[in-house]
Amino acid sequence: MTTITSFKIEDLRFPTSLTGDGTDAMNKSCDYSSAYVTLLTDGKDIGYGMTFTIGRGNDIVCAAVEKVAERLVGRKTEELFADMGAAWNYLLADPQLRWIGPEKGVIHIATGAVVNALWDMYARHERKPLWQLIAEFTPEEFVRSVSFRYITDAISPAEALELLKSKQAGKKERLERVKKEGYPSYTTSVGWFGYPDEKVARLTREAIAQGFNHFKVKVGGGVEDDRRRLALVRSIIDDPKECAGRPTPAPETLVGKNAGPTGSVLMIDANQVWDVQQAVDYVKQLAEFKPWFIEEPTAPDDILGHAEIRRQLSPHGVGVATGEHAHNRMVFKQLLQANAIDVCQIDSCRLAGINEILGVLLMAAKFGVPVCPHAGGVGLCEMVIHLSLVDYLCVSASIDTNVLEFVDHLHEHFTDPCSINAAGHYVVPSNPDEGYSMGMHESSKAEFVFPHGTYWSDPANKKLHGLE
Ligand SMILES: [Mg+2]
């Protein structure tokens, strides 16, 4: 028997605020950060997990991670792995920690970091990448891993079992296809808020050369500015000469997405800056650039607000997407029940890990809404490819509409970084020892751990970041 004996927590911060990477209308200065946890045992098993923040406050999350991780010390790994649903319930069941949520905010994302580490350990133990561990579950094992509490009015365990059983056929063929073609993705790197027009144009051309045909641009800083940037991006991505040599997108992957003449799709993201009617009035002025959807038009908790925005924008051909800040499965349940979204954007770290995410995948499949996970930041791309593979192989069985966010930042810090192929598709993780792909180089941790790492303790860097 192996026992979890201790854990290590690291506050890792990467100085992305210096380049403008990751900037949007709401988040104008981001130092992408990871509240990183390593679960240690008295055997060979080890688990790495994290949640994501954008800098200040990462220490608060680390303090919460400690409280949650303490609950696993002394627990036998075999018992935890034998019923991951029960393990999740146990982690969520401390009434005193629950009080400071419940199931939202710092305590919830901290729980996500620990749950992610436990699943990472389980997958490493089984010597399978995480997606494969779950994809090889029987439908019964899958259902047992899902957190159904508070969502059974949207999907019951029995319904979920039926759904999963119905998707067993064709699984092998889907796996062969996705291993060969990769998982479709899109880029956000072309249009961060802080980038000047020349950089946007250059990055758009680079993205085309990488094989991408879905592009997302940050909006919400001013209508004229946005119109100029969107016109610029459209002028490049809709130009057959600019796209010469890029693989031709299959027609079935463009249905309902307002694709231009070259098969290029544009999406826009406001990162929650508007009130409801403001969002409608603003996006109408961008509708001529034919975005597939507006992402995070308003407050992430405003379910009926999203439904109203969707109702009013639908005649203009613009859909609504959200989810990266939806703080638990109940918010997703209501977004789906209220017909508030065209695209469901789960995040690997905001929900409390795999168990809760599996519930959202099941609900989205039942409601017929495609899941296109949020990624970027640090580590998110590494994780979400596993989630989208589980969705495709076991749950929705669909891949035509889906695109997974890809941002080419900070992958070099991971021991098993994600990658994309020549068609701009995510490569299927294949190392049996990579778990949830959360292993990080010791040298990266030593450099960027806050505040004593070599980067952050350098006086010149302290000055640069206003830390003196
Ligand atoms: Mg976003």
One domain for residues 124 and 175? no
One domain for residues 41 and 189? no
One domain for residues 127 and 175? no
DSSP label of 209: H
Compute, in angstroms, the gap from residue 241 CA to the centroid of ligand 1: 30
Q: What is the pLDDT of residue 96?
A: 98
Compute, in angstroms, the gap from residue 458 CA to the centroid of ligand 1: 32
CA distance 152 to 159: 9
Helix ranges (DSSP H) in 314-398: 329-337, 354-367, 380-390
Which tens digits make up the pLDDT trace of 42-55? 999 999 999 999 99
Residue 159 included in any domain = no
Q: What is the pLDDT of residue 28?
A: 74
Task: With 0.85 as the threshold, say if the pTM is over it.
Answer: yes
Residue 436 included in any domain = no
Q: What's the domain range around 412?
A: 171-427
- The residues facing 187 across adjacent strands are 215, 406
One domain for residues 220 and 304? yes
One domain for residues 202 and 98? no
Q: Is 119 exposed, middle or buried (0-12, 13-18, 19+ CB in 10 A)?
A: buried
Compute, in angstroms, the gap from residue 83 CA to the centroid of ligand 1: 34
Compute, in angstroms, the gap from residue 10 CA to the centroid of ligand 1: 26
Residue 146 included in any domain = no
Range 210-236 average pLDDT = 95
Residue 155 included in any domain = no
State the chain's mean pLDDT as an integer. Answer: 96
Residue 372 included in any domain = yes
- The answer to whether 396 and 358 are in contact (CB under 8 A) is no
Which tens digits make up the pLDDT trace of 325-372? 999 999 999 999 999 999 999 999 999 999 999 999 999 999 999 999
- The answer to whether 262 and 204 are in contact (CB under 8 A) is no
One domain for residues 181 and 134? no
CATH number at residue 92: 3.30.390.10
What are the catalytic residues? 218, 374
User: Sign (positive/negative) of CA torsion 306, 310, 312, 316?
Assistant: positive
Compute, in angstroms, the gap from residue 294 CA to the centroid of ligand 1: 10
Compute, in angstroms, the gap from residue 160 CA to the centroid of ligand 1: 29
Compute, in angstroms, the gap from residue 321 CA to the centroid of ligand 1: 9
One domain for residues 99 and 192? no
User: Sign (positive/negative) of CA torsion 298, 355, 411, 56?
Assistant: positive
One domain for residues 18 and 92? yes
CA distance 330 to 148: 10
**Would you say how long the chain is, in residues?**
468
Q: Per the structure, how many domains does the chain have? A: 2
One domain for residues 401 and 450? no
Compute, in angstroms, the gap from residue 384 CA to the centroid of ligand 1: 14
- The answer to whether 426 and 410 are in contact (CB under 8 A) is no
Q: Element (H or E) spanning 190, and its range?
A: strand 183-191
Q: What is the pLDDT of residue 24?
A: 78
Range 229-233 average pLDDT = 96
Q: Element (H or E) spanning 325, and its range?
A: none
What is the three-state SS of 89-120?
A: HHHCCCHHHHHCCCCCHHHHHHHHHHHHHHHH
- Does the structure show a pLDDT above 90 at 64? yes
CATH number at residue 278: 3.20.20.120
Which positions ≥6 away from 424 have C-beta within 8 Å?
A: 184, 185, 187, 207, 210, 211, 212, 213, 406
Compute, in angstroms, the gap from residue 324 CA to the centroid of ligand 1: 7
Residue 161 included in any domain = no
Range 225-236 average pLDDT = 96
Q: Element (H or E) spanning 39, and its range?
A: strand 33-41
Range 65-83 average pLDDT = 98
Count of other CB atoms within 10 angstroms of residue 162:
13
Compute, in angstroms, the gap from residue 405 CA to the centroid of ligand 1: 9
**Percent of the chain topping pLDDT 90:** 94
Compute, in angstroms, the gap from residue 380 CA to the centroid of ligand 1: 12
Range 1-23 average pLDDT = 91
Residue 76 included in any domain = yes
CA distance 295 to 345: 9
One domain for residues 222 and 292? yes
CA distance 20 to 18: 6
In 219-364, the DSSP E strands lie at: 265-269, 291-295, 319-322, 343-344
At 68, which amino acid appears?
Answer: V
Compute, in angstroms, the gap from residue 271 CA to the centroid of ligand 1: 6
Compute, in angstroms, the gap from residue 365 CA to the centroid of ligand 1: 21
Residue 434 included in any domain = no
Which tens digits make up the pLDDT trace of 169-207? 999 999 999 999 999 999 987 877 778 899 999 999 999
Compute, in angstroms, the gap from residue 315 CA to the centroid of ligand 1: 23
One domain for residues 401 and 270? yes
9 closest CA partner among 52, 65, 58:
65
One domain for residues 264 and 234? yes
Compute, in angstroms, the gap from residue 433 CA to the centroid of ligand 1: 31
